[in-house]
Structure formats: C-alpha cells, structure tokens
Amino acid sequence: MTGNLPSEFDGLKAKRNLRNAMESPAPQLFLAPMAGVTDLAYRILARECGADLTVTEFTAASGLTRKNTYSWLKVESDPRESPFIPQIFGGITEEMVQTVEMLQDRADAVDINFGCPAPKVCRNDAGAALLRDPDRVVSMVRACIAVADVPITVKMRLGTGTGPNTALEICKRLEEEGVTRVCVHGRTLRQRYSGEADWSQIREIVGELEIPVIANGDVTSAESAEACLGKTGAAGLMIGRGAIGRPTIFHEIKRDLGWSTSPPPWGVEDEKVARHWCWRRYLELSEELYHGRLNKNLKRHAVSFTKGLPGASTMRVELHSERDQKKLGEKVSDYLLNLTSESEVAAA
C-alpha cells in the first residue's frame, strides 16, 4: 500500500469513525471475503465490475504471525484495490493483536472475522464459535483497537444457534469500544448456509447502532438487493455466494436499481459477452499479479464461471486432468467465446 488514505478513510486514523465517510448517494456494495475465491485478481476484477469495496480471503492470525508464506500471499494487495482491507481470524488474542500491528502499516482498515462456520475454524475456538462468549469477543476486539492506527471493523453471524442470538449485544458493545463498521450475516453458526437469512434481526441491529451496519446473506440479484435494503435499512450490502463466478452482479445491481448509468467495461449489456470478458480479464490479472506462481484458485473459478451452462459438465471433466494452467484458462475462454458466438448467430 502506498499513497494517501482513500477518501472513505480520511481522518479515520484519529477519529476511528466511519459514519460520515460511509454516507454516499447509494448504499455501498462489498465483495465478501471467501476462502479460495477472493484472491487478489478476483478482488480487482470485482472492483472493475462495480464493487465499491473488497476484503481479502480470511487469513489465520497464527499463519501471519508465524510468517507462513501462503498466509502472507493471501493479504497481498495492489493500488487498484484501494482501500485495502485484510480480514483476519483467530482464537488467541495475543496473536490477533500482533497481526493487527503487522498489517496496519499497509492496510486502510483491518476486519476481524467472527462469522466463519467452518468446523476446522470453530474447533479452534475462532470464527463464529466465539459468538457463544460475548465477553471474549469484546475483549479481543478491544485489545486490537488499543494497538491499531487504522479502523477496526467486524464481520459476524447472528449467533451460534444453540442459545439466544448474541449479535445485537455484541454489536452494541463493539460500537462502544470503537469498532467503525459491522457486517452481519443473517444466519447462525448452526445454520451455516441452510435456510433463509433473517434480515429482520439485521434490521434490529441497524436500529440500535450509530455506526454503519452492512447486511449479508441471500443477495443474488438486483431484486433481492432492493428487498434486503428495504427490510434491513442497512448502509450497504456484502455479497458472497451471489458473486462467485459472477462478478458482474455488482454492475447489474447498480444498473437495475438506477444507482449508475456507467457502461460496463465489457461494452454491451449481454450476459454471455460479460462472462467471457470477465474470465479473460481474470486470466490477465492473474498473470500480471502472481508473477508466474500457480494460481491455486484457477480451477475453482473455472467451475464457477461455467456452472449451469450448456455442455459445461463435459468440458469441466477435461479440466480436472489439465495440469497446464495456461491451457486450462484458454479452454475455458474458448468455451465461453463459443457460447457468445452462438448467441450472436441466434440473434441474427
């Protein structure tokens, strides 16, 4: 990270208050942090497709403090991503504090994860598992804020699902501690991704807090984005699964809700053209940013970009045996281009 803090964070190193900075003509759209999905190339692609803010893949504080190479690769950034917001998780307060100290010179804010429902994370008393103990959550965040020169934000779920939900209590206490923004996923740890997100509980949190609350869960279209904002009154939306293989969702929401009239970078409002452009752009960014390193997420993105398309299942079988990443990328590109050509012929 170089240069001055972007406008969203001007003055926040002293004030630790995002309320005024978050005000904008339209709610902000975030790309949610997702393991194996939101690598640097994909985050920049999402920004080019209309996301206002992106957050890194959630990264273990233990890996960063022990200088694990792969962990540090996950928190790489680029000026085009500014503001840069790494997300960290862990169950040991001392490691979390040390990680904040290590990251803050290159970050514009640090986000702490209390929302991950993955068993391997929760078994280590991290992620959403900590929601069973509000005092511990508050103590950990307080310690991080005490050493931070940048805003500390938090992402969480409604609770663990094994007792009363704790998100409202925790959010109110975290606001008092100086957290500058919270994002709430409208499900519990026990639900993981089943059932429907409870937007009404997010609404209750919005009504009790002065800091911005970002709603997360079940936003997959402009229609659901509008419904979520109407139900929750949130300051913005964080989109996760709805943006996997579909970074265009940010442009689509802004276009369909009248928030923006800017033309898309792929030129024409055509879903197949957009998908091919996004894949090519992801390949370009990967080659530029990863300096010859293998992209561990490439096959996963290839599956996501082609999911549900005609003939894609046959093509994906071939991809599983393809070890050359350049060839894999070209196969997917050719497949998507062919769909675009077929669409043009049909239209003629």
Residues assigned a catalytic role: 116
Distance CA 39, CA 292 (A): 15
Q: Which residues pair with 182 in a beta bridge?
A: 154, 213
Distance CA 282, CA 269 (A): 19
Return the closest-CA partner of residue 40 out of 332, 297, 326, 336: 297
CA dihedral for 262, 267, 268, 271, sign (positive or negative): negative
Residue 154: its H or E element = strand 152-157
Contact status, residue 226 vs residue 195, Cβ threshold 8 Å: no
End-to-end distance of the chain based on CA atoms, in angstroms?
Answer: 48
Other beta carbons within 10 angstroms of residue 164's beta carbon come to 8
Reading the block at residue 154, the tokens are 């938090």
Return the closest-CA partner of residue 76 out of 37, 30, 39: 39
Q: Is there a cis peptide before residue 83, judged by omega within 30 degrees of 0? A: yes
CA distances to 40, 41, 241, 284 from 296, rounded to whole Å, are: 12, 12, 19, 15
Contact status, residue 106 vs residue 1, Cβ threshold 8 Å: yes
Return the closest-CA partner of residue 117 out of 108, 109, 107, 127: 127
